[in-house]
Each structure stands twice: as C-alpha cells, then as structure tokens.
Amino acid sequence: MVKFSDIKGFIFDLDGVITDTSVYHTEAWHQLADKVGTPWTQDLEDGLKGISRMDSLNMILDAGGVSNNYTEEEKVSLANEKNDRYLSLVNKMTPDNILPGIKEFLDSLVSNGYSISLASASKNSPTVLSKLGLTKYFSNVVDPASLTNGKPDPEIYQKGAQILDLKPEQCIGIEDAESGIESINGAGETSVGIGSRDTLKDADILFATTKDLTLDNIKKAMN
Ligand code: BG6
Ligand code: MG
C-alpha cells in the first residue's frame, strides 16, 4: 500500500457513501423487478450497487430470463419509469440525508488542502448533491455519460484522478459497492470500503460506517 503522506486527493462515490440514496435505487429497482417478474434476492440487490442505469436494467432482465421479451425502446421506457420513481424519492431529500460524519470529513479534506472529485455512475448526481447542499465541495465531477465502460471497469476512477491532475497512486477512492472497489483497485488507487467485509472483500481499508471515515483513521490504517 502507498504511504498516507503520498495521498493528495479523494475520489467519492455518491450513492451509499455520501447519502443513503442506495436505498432509493433499491426500492425503485425492486418495484421494476416485480413488474417484469424477476425474483428479488440479496445477491441481486448487492450486485446492482454502483452499476449504471441501463446495465442495472439488463442485469434485472437477465436474472429473470426475460431479456428477449423487451425491445430496446421498451427497455428505455422501463429505465425511465425506474428513474421517475427514484427522482420522486430524491425530491424529498434535504441536508439531513447526508450520512453521519461526511460533512465533517469533507470539511477536514478542504482545510487540509486535499483535492476532491466525484466518481458516481449516477446521472442524477448533480440533483442529489444540490438537495444535500454539497455542490460547493464537488467542482470536479466525472460525467458518467463520458464513460465507455461503467464500474467495475477502472475508467471512472481513472478519470476521477485525471480531473484532479493527480496520479492514481496519489488518490483514495471511497465506495460502498463491490463493483466500485474493483474499479478503484483496477485504477491503481487505494480503496476505502464502507460496509462489511462479506461484500467488500477487496477493499484496502474498511470502515463499518461513514462515522469512522476520518483522516486520522485512514492514516492509522495506512501506516
Ligand atoms: C450508482 C448507484 O451510483 O448509480 C446505482 O449505485 C445506480 O444503483 C447508478 O443504478 C446509476 O444511477 P442513475 O441515477 O443514473 O440511474
Ligand atoms: Mg455506491
């Protein structure tokens, strides 16, 4: 592992790290799975985290063996339906939906001169950040529409370092999803997982909750 003193930037996932929107994504996808007749399982739920909208839809259709029942046009309309449901949940969000410790952590990064970027697969990130009142921290956001491949491919975390003008070794990526940890590791950055070892097997550093996400704890884990 690289030394803590080499770290210059932090690249954040959004859903499930900064705020609990992963619960909203899950709720909206679960409804869609019921509609197309795909049985909902914990594995499917975990596997969808971090995955782009169309890739998620395809995973759900594949899991139910119903991919061939829908035209491309119908798939787009299913994805839109899910997104409308998701946005109706996001609409009710306020700064109270920021996960514990995140605001303090962001402030500590700013006051210690670290660079910050966002590497979320979500096209709704700007809306969510604005609802949370966190837009000012994220002037560097990777546009998921610019990606050739979504998570678990390293591309999004590579771009998260590039927009900060940093090398991957100088960056820490923070994720709640297995696909995201794989993306960070593939990019050659240090991965911090938020959650349990069961799902985040390959995280370099693991914290059970965002409350534990502090510069001191990261430093201790790295040195
Ligand atoms: C990721 C979420 O951050 O964004 C996924 O973990 C979601 O659950 C993906 O599917 C895409 O989000 P959106 O908002 O563009 O549909
Ligand atoms: Mg996430």
Domain end among 90, 109, 133:
90
Cβ of residue 142 lying under 6 Å from some atom of ligand 1? no
Q: Using one digit for the tens of pLDDT, what is the confidence trace for 110-120?
A: 999 999 999 99
Q: Collapsing DSSP states into helix, strand and coil, what is residue 180?
A: helix
> Do 117 and 218 reside in the same domain of the chain?
yes
> Do 127 and 214 reside in the same domain of the chain?
yes
Q: Using one digit for the tens of pLDDT, what is the confidence trace for 179-199?
A: 999 999 999 999 999 999 999
**For the chain, which residues score pLDDT lower than 50?**
none
> Do 153 and 193 reside in the same domain of the chain?
yes
Output the average pLDDT for the chain: 97
Quickly list DSSP for 157-169. Answer: HHHHHHTTT--GG
Domain end among 90, 123, 144:
90
Quickly list DSSP for 26-66. Answer: HHHHHHHHHHHTPPP-HHHHHHHTT--HHHHHHHHHHHTT-
> Do 56 and 106 reside in the same domain of the chain?
no
Cβ of residue 131 lying under 6 Å from some atom of ligand 1? no
Burial letters 136-167, b for 16+ CB under 10 A, else e: ebbebbbebeebeebbbbbbbbbbbbebbebe
Residue 194 sits in a domain of what CATH number?
3.40.50.1000
> Do 164 and 120 reside in the same domain of the chain?
yes
Neighbours of 117 (CB within 10 A): 24
Neighbours of ion ligand 2 (CB under 5 A): 13, 15-16, 176-177
Q: According to the model, what pLDDT value does residue 1 have?
A: 74
CA atoms of 65 and 211, how far apart (whole Å): 40
> Do 79 and 105 reside in the same domain of the chain?
no
Domain region containing 75: 22-90
Report the separation in Å between the CA atom of 61 and the middle of ligand 1, taken as the mean of its atom positions: 17
> Do 113 and 60 reside in the same domain of the chain?
no
- Our count of domains for the chain comes to 2
Domain end among 43, 68, 90:
90
> Do 183 and 73 reside in the same domain of the chain?
no
Two structure tokens written together for 20: 């609990």
| Amino acid, single-letter form, for residue 171 | C
Q: According to the model, what pLDDT value does residue 105 have?
A: 98
> Do 67 and 14 reside in the same domain of the chain?
no
Is-above-0.85 flag for pTM? yes
CA atoms of 25 and 82, how far apart (whole Å): 8
Q: Where are the beta strands (DSSP E) in the chain?
A: 9-12, 115-118, 171-175, 190-194, 205-207
Residue 61 sits in a domain of what CATH number?
1.10.150.240
> Do 59 and 121 reside in the same domain of the chain?
no
Report the separation in Å between the CA atom of 49 and the middle of ligand 2, taken as the mean of its atom positions: 6
Q: Collapsing DSSP states into helix, strand and coil, what is residue 67?
A: helix
> Do 73 and 172 reside in the same domain of the chain?
no
> Do 108 and 159 reside in the same domain of the chain?
yes
